[in-house]
């Protein structure tokens, strides 16, 4: 079960991961974008990681909403509003709970990924963060229905996100800045799919 402290640990772990990998994310974005994804993510998640020490949150929903709003206002680029929406939408299904289990998290992750689609209109195969998020959500659902533990569901989702990330390499981008490159976007892993995989691995490391 994941309580408020666990969600705060997730955000801290996500911040540490994107900060550690900032140069890699920026290199990926330099190849098919404008080379700011690592700095954007490290700045935004770094700011989010400070929230827990600054404010007493009444619950998981209030905390995740603040994280979402903070991401919108600090990450910038295309990814800021998309990750912001992901965390804002994640919050709502967790409103009534102080300890989220697999079923509640499945609902929340699905809502988060749907928020990314509502905002960015990406489909699987467009070479975006959604290529990591969509298989993660589907795999989490499957693992939940199979009655697996929260830890197992989260690790299965993180593994699926990593596979989805790797699968973006040969694709031609159809959304975002990378799509301006057309065929030349093929042969590179998508930066947003890479950061999404890091965020999901951080969840697997902390939420259960
Ligand atoms: P920008 O492209 O504005 O510089 P970032 O570099 O921070 O923004 O983020 C780029 C990432 O955002 C891409 O790698 C991709 O995964 C994601 N992205 C861009 N557009 C979309 C979209 N419409 N839907 C989903 N993800 C998107
Ligand atoms: Mg960029």
DSSP string, 139-179: HHHHHHHTT--HHHHHHHHHHHHHHHHHHTTTPPP-SSGGG
Distance (Å, rounded) from C-alpha 82 to C-alpha 155?
23
Query: What's the first-to-final CA gap in the chain, in angstroms?
Result: 6
5 CA → ligand 1 middle, Å: 29
The pLDDT value given to residue 121: 98
The protein residue with its alpha carbon nearest to ligand 1, atom 9, reads 79
For ligand 1, atom 21, which residue shows the shortest CA distance?
Answer: 176
Neighbour count for residue 46 (Cβ, 10 Å): 16
Q: Which residue ranges have their beta carbon within 6 Å of ligand 1?
A: 29, 33-34, 36-37, 40, 77-79, 82, 116, 120-122, 128-130, 175-177, 190-193
What six digits make up the tokens of 166?
């790797």
Tell whether the model's pLDDT for residue 125 goes beyond 90: yes
Write out pLDDT tens, residues 128-141.
Answer: 999 999 999 999 99
Q: What are the pLDDT digits (tens) for 31-90?
A: 999 999 999 999 999 999 999 999 999 999 999 999 999 999 999 999 999 999 999 999
Give the distance (Å) from ligand 2 centre to CA of residue 40. Answer: 8
Atom of ligand 1 nearest to the CA of 191: 14
Nearest ligand to the CA of 192 is: 1
Residues comprising the chain, all counted: 208
Tens-place pLDDT, residues 5-19: 999 999 999 999 999
**Is there a contact between 158 and 136 (Cβ–Cβ < 8 Å)?**
yes
Specify the ligand 1 atom closest to the Cα of 75.
7
Alpha-carbon distance 158 to 204, whole Å? 7
Query: Distances in Å between the alpha carbon of 108 and those of 75, 104, 105?
Result: 22, 6, 5
User: Is the pLDDT confidence value at 96 over 90?
Assistant: no
The predicted-structure confidence for 161-204, as pLDDT tens digits, reads as follows 999 999 999 999 999 999 999 999 999 999 999 999 999 999 99
């Amino acid at each position: 079960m994941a309580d408020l402290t666990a969600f705060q640990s997730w955000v801290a772990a996500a911040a540490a991961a994107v900060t550690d990998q900032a140069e890699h994310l920026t290199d990926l974005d330099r190849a098919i974008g404008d080379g700011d994804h690592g700095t954007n993510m490290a700045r935004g998640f770094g700011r989010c990681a400070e929230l827990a020490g600054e404010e007493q949150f009444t619950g998981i929903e209030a905390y995740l909403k603040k994280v979402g709003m903070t991401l919108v206002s600090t990450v910038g680029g295309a990814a800021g509003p998309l990750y912001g929406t992901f965390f804002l939408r994640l919050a709502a299904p967790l409103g009534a709970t102080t300890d989220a289990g697999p079923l509640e998290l499945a609902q929340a992750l699905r809502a988060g990924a749907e928020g990314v689609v509502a905002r960015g209109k990406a489909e699987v195969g467009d070479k975006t963060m959604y290529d990591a998020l969509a298989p993660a959500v589907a795999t989490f659902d499957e693992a939940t229905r199979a009655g697996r533990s929260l830890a197992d569901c989260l690790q299965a989702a993180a593994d699926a996100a990593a596979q989805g990330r790797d699968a973006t390499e040969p694709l031609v981008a159809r959304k975002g800045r990378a799509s301006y490159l057309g065929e030349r976007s093929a042969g590179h892993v998508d930066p947003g799919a890479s950061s999404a995989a890091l965020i999901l691995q951080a969840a697997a490391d902390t939420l259960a």
